[in-house]
Amino acid sequence: MKARSYEFYKAFYDKNRISILQYQSLRKNFQKLVTVVLGKDYYNYEMDVYECDKQCCKDIANRSKGFLHRIFPKIKI
């Protein structure tokens, strides 16, 4: 595989800077949400970041359903 130059990576970063910053912000805030809702020591056993995120979302939804059901017991969720 051919090594890429500094100029290549700089051009890539400059072209994709906003997307990269948005992704970093999303990851940071998603981790905050996981910590607040599921706890500081939350861990799942999925094998990659995509499956981990999917499992986190399922766990957050399940935790939220229980909370919302206690507040609004007559509403179907």
The tens digit of pLDDT for each residue in 54-63 reads: 999 999 998 8
Q: State residue 77's pLDDT score.
A: 57
Each residue's pLDDT tens digit, 22-51:
999 999 999 999 999 999 999 999 999 999
Rounded Cα–Cα distance for residues 46 and 19 (Å) = 26
What total number of domains does the chain contain? Answer: 1
* Residue at 38 is within a domain: yes
**pTM of the predicted model as reported, rounded to 2 decimal places:** 0.73
* Residue at 1 is within a domain: no
Domain limits at 38? 6-71
* Residue at 49 is within a domain: yes
Rounded Cα–Cα distance for residues 52 and 63 (Å) = 16
Q: State residue 23's pLDDT score.
A: 96
